[in-house]
Amino acid sequence: MNRTPVVFIHGAWLHALSWESWAERFASRGFLALTPGWPGEAAAAREVRTSASDVFAGVGLDVLTDHYAHIVRSFDIAPVIVGHSVGGLIAQHLIGANIGRAAVAIAPAPVNDVPLSATPSPLWTPGAADEAGGLVTLSPTRFQQAFANTVGAEEAARLFERYVVPTPRRLLADLGYAGAARSPRTRVDVGNADRGPLLLISGQEDLLVPDAATRAVYKQYGDSTAVTDLKQFADRAHSLVVDAGWRHVADYVLGWLDERGLHAHPA
């Protein structure tokens, strides 16, 4: 029997392995779960931290969007797209272009003219000391302070070791940070009435993509008759897809898909 594919797109500073628990959960519910990494991404986070390639350092939003558009289009059954952070922006871009069956954008980097916040996190505007070889690095301390700010030190250290990687400076520039002009790929057709359903998710303690930014994006979809839903998780940070509460978020997404008639085995 054919299964509905779910393509997971990770965001900045996380490795594709950040979706490993989600992929197992979705597969147990009958979906075909796929977690393709970024171009040039090594098989483990430690490898990316110690020996990231020039290909990985050169990844920008154009490359990422085209990479995942090609993957999503490659299936006979249109996939569900689940993205986190920059992956959430890409998920919206693709579903807005009628690529994919439905999309879930978790703590998504803002689209269109929505600003990240009046006082963006230093992670989005790094200094020279944070960079090496075109990559912006993240220390364990900074990860807990700005990314996993609702978890304890022991859990943050474990998450860092398994999942955290540098992110390309070029990608941050494409998102419009550090004074750069935003890439056209940050534009999303929020008025498309023919697209599939979209779920936006925020963490109300998120310092990287504040809840207010996700709510502002949600309002931009207000004139579309296509299904657009918003779920806010209290006391959750940007790490909500990998920290100890990940299953609450994943199960909410599974329930939302079921409510929207998006089943593991399409009729």
CATH number, domain with residue 78: 3.40.50.1820
For position 228, what pLDDT does the model report?
Answer: 98
- Tens-level pLDDT at each residue, the chain (267 residues): 699 999 999 999 999 999 999 999 999 999 999 999 999 999 999 999 888 777 888 899 999 999 999 999 999 999 999 999 999 999 999 999 999 999 999 999 999 989 866 555 666 665 544 566 688 888 899 999 999 999 999 999 999 999 999 999 899 989 987 677 889 999 999 999 999 999 999 999 999 999 999 999 999 999 899 999 999 999 999 999 999 999 999 999 999 999 999 999 987
Domain range for residue 58? 5-259
- Give the rounded distance of the alpha carbon of 89 from its chain centre: 7
Residue 266: inside a domain: no
Residue 264 in any domain: the answer is no
Tell me what pLDDT residue 57 has.
87
The verdict on residue 117 lying in a domain is yes
Residues 105, 94: contact at Cβ < 8 Å?
Answer: no
Q: How many residues does the chain have?
A: 267
In this structure, what are the phi and psi dihedrals at residue 19, rounded to the nearest 5 degrees? -95, 5
Element (H, E) at 231: strand 228-233
Sequence-ordered list of residues with C-beta below 8 angstroms from that of 169, at least 6 positions apart, any chain? 57, 126, 131, 134, 135, 136
Q: Which of 32, 41, 31 is nearest to 10 (CA)?
A: 41
pLDDT at 52: 72
Q: How far apart are CA 62 and CA 81, in angstroms?
A: 18
Name which of 92, 82, 93 is nearest 23 in CA terms.
82
pLDDT of 129 reads 43
Q: How many domains does the chain have?
A: 1
pLDDT of residue 219: 96
**Is 17 contained in some domain?**
yes
For residue 135, the cross-strand partners are: 132, 168
For residue 9, give both structure tokens.
Answer: 């797109």
183 is a domain residue: yes
d(C-alpha 32, C-alpha 82), whole Å: 13
DSSP 2-22: ---EEEEE--TTB-GGGGHHH
Q: In terms of DSSP H, where are the helices of the chain?
A: 20-28, 45-51, 54-57, 61-73, 86-96, 140-142, 153-163, 169-174, 211-220, 246-259
Residue 192: both structure tokens together: 């498309």
The Cα 183–Cα 186 span in angstroms is 6
Cα distance between residue 67 and residue 155, in whole Å = 32
Which pLDDT does position 177 carry in this prediction?
78
Q: Provide CB contacts within 8 A for 110, sequence distance 6+.
A: 89, 116, 186, 209, 213, 216, 217
Q: Which helix (H) or strand (E) holds 132?
A: strand 131-132
User: How many helices (H) does the chain have, and how many strands (E)?
Assistant: 10, 9
How far is residue 257's CA from residue 2's CA, in Å, rounded to a whole number?
A: 17
Residue 265 lies in a domain: no
Residue 267 counted as domain residue: no
Task: Give me the amino acid identity at 225.
Answer: T
Is 170 a domain residue? Answer: yes
